[in-house]
Amino acid sequence: MFAASALVDARRDDAARRIVVDDKVVSRLAALYRVQLGRSPSRAELDALVEQHVREEVQFREARRMGLDKDDEIVRRRLASKLDFLERDTAAVPEPSAAELQRYYETHEKDFVQPATATFTHVYFSPDRGGDEAARARAETVLATLQKGRRTRAPELGDPFPLQTDFAGVARLDVAQQFGSEPMAESVFSGPLGRWSGPVRSGYGWHLVYVSHRDDARVPPLAEIRDRVEAACVDAAKERANRERYAALEKRYVVERTYRR
């Protein structure tokens, strides 16, 4: 019995030390390379991939032999994440019907709101020319001139701006991010329409603003965003399927909560 046990253990140890790199493994490595780089690996690159695979396999087996996978939070989370990914990837849901799409659209309208947008132009005055107060004074002088005329665009009356001068159909958040300040966004979306206003301070300096058009926030009709609604509907169905699958999986286990609450 002892001899048989020793023989079995020896065979197990021999199997644990054998790393087989067959055609299936090489094909998988080449396929992953094509997905990542968009082309097949050369012979030298494939040889390097095989060597890397062998190195990782040796390190993986040694780590398991040393018990490094036990009680390791990173390994635990990685395995749980991989299982979750595999389950999400295999979750198949039927294509939603027209009625289901309509129902999802009506109950999730807030998810499809398009923000208010504005179309405007501006004239920039840089503090680098004489300081901040001088830039503002120049802006006020030009504003008085523009308000007397009918010009709707006049970047040449100011200083060169590092970004664009004209903006079409931009949202409030985009304006705040572009100009590095909320006052500029407030001027564009709450200031006068169809006439020059300012000066307005931004992260760059002072501006005169002419807003030619604004569109209020709205929910587009279903026909206009059908693809978006369908994708969201399918994702929601997959999420429900995953929750149901996990609930069934959880029932296989007994969870004892003995900690103090």
For residues 158 and 198, membership in a common domain is answered with: yes
65 domain-assigned:
yes
Tens-place pLDDT, residues 33-88: 998 899 999 999 999 999 998 888 888 888 888 888 787 888 888 888 887 777 66
How far apart are alpha carbons 208 and 103 in whole angstroms?
46
For residues 125 and 207, membership in a common domain is answered with: yes
Tens-place pLDDT, residues 85-136: 776 656 677 889 999 999 999 999 999 999 999 999 999 999 999 999 999 9
Q: For residue 160, say if its preceding peptide bond is cis, omega within 30 degrees of 0.
A: no
Tens-place pLDDT, residues 218-256: 999 999 999 999 999 998 998 888 888 888 888 888 877
Coil, strand or helix: which one is 40? coil
For residues 156 and 141, membership in a common domain is answered with: yes
Question: Which of 180, 204, 209 minimizes the C-alpha distance to 193?
Answer: 209
CATH label of the domain that carries residue 208: 3.10.50.40
For residues 160 and 200, membership in a common domain is answered with: yes
167 domain-assigned:
yes
122 domain-assigned:
yes
CB 116 within 8 A of CB 172: yes
Q: How many helical (H) and strand (E) elements, i.e. helices and strands, does the chain have?
A: 9, 4
For residues 201 and 242, membership in a common domain is answered with: no
How far apart are alpha carbons 134 and 206 in whole angstroms?
10
- DSSP letter at 195? S
230 domain-assigned:
yes
For residues 209 and 228, membership in a common domain is answered with: no
Averaged over 156-175, what is the pLDDT? 94
Element (H, E) at 76: helix 73-90
CA angle 161, 164, 167 (to 5 degrees): 135
pTM (2 decimals)?
0.58
For residues 129 and 68, membership in a common domain is answered with: no
CB 143 within 8 A of CB 196: yes
251 domain-assigned:
no
- Count of domains forming the chain: 3
91 domain-assigned:
no
What are the structure tokens assigned to 225, written together?
Answer: 């965003």
92 domain-assigned:
no
For residues 232 and 162, membership in a common domain is answered with: no
For residues 190 and 103, membership in a common domain is answered with: no
Which domain range does residue 241 map to?
98-111+222-246
For residues 120 and 210, membership in a common domain is answered with: yes
For residues 73 and 147, membership in a common domain is answered with: no
57 domain-assigned:
yes
